[in-house]
A = this chain, B = another copy of it.
Amino acid sequence: MQNEDPIRDPHELLESLDNLHPSDIAYSLKKIENESVDDFFYILKNLNEEVLGQVLLELPDNLREAAYNELSAEKLTEAVDELESDDATDIIQEIEEIDIDKAKEIYEGLEEEDRKDIDWLKRYEEDEAGAYMQTELFSAKISETIGESIKRLKHAKAEAELENIHQVFVTNDEKSLIASIPLEDLIIFDFDKTYESILNEAEEFKYKPFKVSDDTHIDEVAKNVEQYDLSVVAVVGYQDILMGRITSDDILDVIEQNATEQIYQLAGVHEDFEHEEKVINTAKKRAIWLFVNLGTAILASLVIGLFDKTIQAYVALAILMPIVASMGGNAGTQTLAVMVRQLALGDIELENAKDAVKKEVLISLINGLLFAVIMGLIAWFWFDQKLLGLVIGTSMIVNLFSAGFFGASIPLFLKKLNIDPAVGSTVLLTTVTDIVGFFSFLMLAKVILL
């Protein structure tokens, strides 16, 4: 594989630039920056404009920002000029946040056509398909011959305007997208034929294009790419006018990003605020979640407070009660993770969710019984009191049952309300398992032991 060790020596890196993928250059630059910021900037300034933009895109946020400040507007303009429209737009928008004048200077240094593309792409919300598309693509009019369109491709490739082309998008006279022909088919056709005749001869649905509207949510696009094993999706606007394309490498990033978000949300972390320059801002965002958790912990404590006399009479209850809550919390988390993930993957849908809930409740009942016996025996021998074993055993069944039921229901409930099931479900669940755990254990103790 290409994935070699980073080059840590600045001179060696400078000499090897031509053989390296931008991603490898960025990786080496990261290491070099650790040793010397000057070396980092020196190499950056010596990168040629063809790779500079790509390298910038692969750098971590903080280094990219440093580069925006250090590099001249001219150098940045050259770099942006080499990028595809979606990447160019991203970089200009990032520079705008740091230095609006510099961003303007770069923007004005671009050709008019590129400026128009950027103006257009900037209008999209960050989760819309339009924000992910590149406007550079290979298209042909239906009346054209294949040979004519390939001549255009040749020219565009010589000018380095097109890359990663896997198909030709065929449009009608109204510029609406009507077909997508993979290059593997195109290359074996007679180049003198027109697209019209090719399409007339083909089976009806053979070249039906996979397309999304420019305002489609990117998660929806990702789902389709996965489901239909696509490498490219066309993006269309009003009346199916062809506007751009989204390639599978962008979709890979979306899927990786969504998985990160889901893991973070389950743990009470906001992905957006984890890359803040200032630690205090990250801490603040995390504190919000901890604050909610504090509220629910106090609720659980209030429940314990109801039984202060019982605890005073049997201090063993204070010793054992965290076990019930902890087991409920863990069993519930297992169920929750499975439900949240399977809802996200579409393996569970609202309409067939009953079976999933039943299964989870059954699992938690089985384990409730198992741990009721184990923990009942442990408590009995530990404190030499049979009834205490009965209390904790019964409470274990109650709490694991409710953990399974609520662990399965809470994500479904959130989903029904159109809330992301990963958000807030953990805190709702632990509130339930803590309160049910403490209450059932102490209440049973009060009734049975006193």
The answer to whether residues A211 and B263 also contact, given A248-B248, A331-B286 and a CB cut-off of 8 A, is no
A142 at the interface (CB under 8 A from B): no
Partner of A228, one of B2, B60, B150, B205: B2
Residues of B within 8 A of A230 (CB): 249
- The answer to whether B301 and A320 touch across the interface, beta carbons within 8 angstroms, is yes
> Which label, helix, strand, loop or mixed, suits the secondary structure of the A interface?
helix
- A166-B166, A186-B187, A223-B3 are known contacts. Are A283 and B363 too (CB-CB below 8 A)? yes
Q: Are A337 and B23 in contact (CB under 8 A)?
A: no
Q: How far is the CB of A297 from chain B (nearest CB, A)?
A: 4
Contacts of A293 in B (CB 8 A): 326-327, 330
- Per-residue interface assignment for chain A, residues 1 to 31, with 1 indicating a CB less than 8 Å from any chain B CB and 0 otherwise: 1110000000000000011010100000000
Q: Are A294 and B249 in contact (CB under 8 A)?
A: no
Asked whether B327 lies within 8 Å of A300 as measured between CB atoms, the reply is no
Residues from chain B with Cβ under 8 Å of A290 in the complex: 327, 330-331, 334, 367, 371
B334 touches A289 (CB 8 A): yes
User: Once the chains bind, are A337 and B434 in contact (CB under 8 Å)?
Assistant: no
CB distance from A268 to the nearest CB of B (A): 6
CB-CB nearest in chain B for A165? B184
How long is the Cα–Cα vector from A138 to B144 in the complex, in angstroms? 28
CA–CA, A289 and B334, complex, Å: 10
In the complex the two chains form, is A184's CB within 8 Å of B157's CB?
yes
Which partner residue on chain B sits nearest A320 by CB separation? B301
Give the CA-CA distance A282 to B334 in the complex, in Å. Answer: 11
- Chain B residue nearest in CB terms to A60: B347
State the CA gap A287–B370 with chains docked (Å): 8
Residues of B within 8 A of A253 (CB): 226
Which of B157, B231, B300 interacts with A166 by CB under 8 Å? B231
A286 touches B252 (CB 8 A): no
Q: Chain B nearest CB: distance from A56 CB in Å?
A: 15
The minimal Cβ–Cβ distance linking A21 to chain B, given in whole angstroms, is 6
- Shortest distance from the beta carbon of A153 to any chain B beta carbon, whole Å: 6
The answer to whether B286 touches A301, judged by C-beta atoms less than 8 angstroms apart, is: no
Inter-chain contact B279/A2, CB cutoff 8 Å: no
Cβ–Cβ contact A211 & B289, under 8 A: no
Is B334 in contact with A23, judged by CB distance below 8 angstroms? no
Name which of A97-105, A110-118, A303-311, A410-418 contacts chain B.
A303-311
Given the complex of chains A and B, what is the CA–CA distance between A440 and B302 in angstroms? 22
Contact of A262 among B162, B263, B287 (CB under 8 A): B263
Q: Which residues of chain B are near A159, meaning CB under 8 Å?
A: none
Please state if A286 and B363 are interface contacts (CB–CB under 8 Å): yes
* A378 close to B333 (CB less than 8 A): no
Closest 8 interchain pairs by CB? A259-B259, A267-B337, A229-B249, A318-B318, A165-B184, A183-B183, A154-B188, A283-B366
- Of the A-B pairs whose beta carbons lie under 8 Å apart in the complex, a sample of 21, sorted by A's number, is A3-B227, A164-B184, A165-B184, A166-B166, A226-B252, A230-B249, A248-B248, A255-B255, A260-B345, A263-B263, A266-B267, A268-B330, A280-B366, A289-B330, A300-B322, A301-B322, A301-B323, A308-B315, A322-B438, A326-B430, A326-B434
